[in-house]
Structure 1
Amino acid sequence: MNKINSYSTGLVAGLAVFFGLIVGAVIMLISGFNPVTGYISLVQSALGSSLNIGEVLRAMTPLILTAAGFLVAQSAGFFNIGLSGQVWVGWIASTWFVLANQGMNPWILIPVAVIIGAIGGAVMGFIPGWLRAQFGASEVITTIMLNYIVLYGGNAVVQGLPKHLMATTDMTKTLSATDSLRWDFLSNITGGSRFNIGFIIAVVALLGIWFVMKRTTLGFEIRAVGLNPDAARYAGMSAKRNAIMAMTISGTLAGLAGATEGLGTYLNIFSQSAAPQVGYDGMAVALLASGSFLGILFAAFLFSVLSVGGLGMPLATGVPTELVSVVTAAIIFFIGANYLIRFILVKLDEDDEKSKNKKDKKKAAKLNKKEAK
């Protein structure tokens, strides 16, 4: 068991990505497509121009934040499936505030809107955390239920906004560039992409939460509760308080992701048929990062390349975009099956050791024969 767990998470994550790409290549071959040209077109579509690079960085923004939020909750031993709902609340709250206060100075308006979005997500993270701490309610069940409550409740809120804020019955008017996270300089250097200040917010937030989790007493207590609640309680740590704090911080980061979506990417609010996908994708990014905050950057980059590059594959090679979802799902599967990957690595090492021992024995036998002569 110790030998199986001795392999680095980076190696296992890398192999998970490799095996996921292999699965995608096999499906391409079965479907009559060339996997080499398919993957080349994917990379070119994602990184072949400054516009596409800007879109990759833009797509990374909410993934970094939701993945960091999921990782905080996971460190405390919780599985926050409510990230999508928390993103939706942050999106609505921040964008609604800007729409209702467009005459305010943008240097005050935008920071306040971002904070309001974060608070909205924090509230939605606090609720399941409090229910878990006070009543032992499963955060998995409560967050799933809250996703549906927030989705349909949010749609009702959007459709019930004052008419002067609406473009249609299901969509608000578009924010002006000055009342958003867009910055002409960032857009211009990336060929007119939607790359915005949200990316900077995401990176700063990631660094901040890394510092909190790794360098502060609060972070230590959250991790301690996640590793062993009984031992943490014996040491005088409050399991209930840390459960609530972990879920609240997780929701705060998801709310920030929602603010960057509303104020940086879409510049409006519109009714959703399902909870925002970035919440679920952020969970996948966190799983691929394997508990590493630095790994979140690399995992978010990979998922963004797949999502942005996948849009250009049908035009270049005819490969359907659904194949990218298959590759993503395969990567997640192999991450979930990391024990199997570690087991295979152990067996390969054991085979290498056996072959090396056989060679050493043969060499020793030859030397003994020479000495005997």
Structure 2
Amino acid sequence: MELTNQDIADLVAFRRELHRFPEISNEEEATARRVVDFLAGTGPSAVLTGLGGHGVAIVYEGAGPGPTVLFRSELDALPIEELPDIPHRSTVPGKSHMCGHDGHTTILAALARQFGRRPPARGRVVLMFQPAEETGNGAAGVVADPRYDKIRPDFAFSLHNVPGTPLGHVRLKPGVVNCASRGIRIVLDGKTAHSSMPETGTSPMLAVSRLMPALAKLGGGSFHDDDFAMVTVTHASMGEPVFGIAPGRAEIRATLRTRLDERMADLCAAAEALVHEAAGKDGLRHTVDYHEIFVASLNAPEAVEHLRAALDAEGIPHDEEQLPLRASEDFGVFGHSSKSAMFFLGAGVDRPALHNPDYDFPDDLIAIGARIFMRIARNLLG
């Protein structure tokens, strides 16, 4: 279960190569190809490409019957300009791995090296390199792909690095660990007019001014209560940037957030009712649509127990502090058909936060994450 010094050197170089050539959600074609090329020599039983977009599944079969265990990482980067001048800085303007998905992918590559030398004794391991996590459509696309039925797991595991937590320390709990969220886009249509005669048009100004605070007030409840809801207005625009035209069109965008999917349905209905009322009052037409839809991520108790056993066997400290997180994560989709669990691996107390322009995944986490996943696999599959 050990990685050699040469393995570590190769894996660090691979992680930094991924970092230099980031691709954002739904554009990860070259990243997927790099993964397949890097793991070609590990002798997998099967390689599935183009899953749910640019997803890749690398499969290692055991000699005997047993469960299917899936380990998942993400391929996508973010549309953020990287700031620090490091040797492996992003070569792509305006794009960078500021969430550490390059590190998560490398952790799975470390597993592939080890399974290439010693496959599981029974069952099978699926290494799932998933696209488009940041936009919420990646996991759903993978699971909806007809070929997913061939690799559908009994257990699914994932991790995410978390700056602000001591390096190598794990946060883990059963139940909700990531909130459901979705973007709501509201368009209000009226009629433009000359700015000297606004009464001849139909302006969305008053509707916008009422809707933004009303949407925010839909939030409420304690974060640790299942009735928690949060609405964050993220964008608003109205009319043209000129002085001679009274506006006839406006757009509002907001993020809806809840702990549970059932509560999200109620929040969407309440938001749509507000829009209908505000638009109707001023004679406006309106449309509402949703984007970047994330279901709630819930850790199955049995999967959590397997994770805890692995952490204890490896002597890795863990607790339930700081969970659940307000942030969303599309790994929850895998839990709809498998016993799944995600843990959160400390990236260091003083490291910049995720999505900051100066974040860089710590290479020391590659071996730690691989140890945890490998212990799970050997405990379940031998």
Task: Name the TM tier (shorter chain).
Answer: under 0.3
The normalised TM-score by structure 1 is 0.23
Structure whose residues are more often helix by fraction: 1
Structure whose residues are more often strand by fraction: 2
Structure exhibiting the larger radius of gyration computed from Cα positions: 1
The normalised TM-score by structure 2 is 0.22
Greater relative CO (CA pairs within 8 A, separation 6+): 1
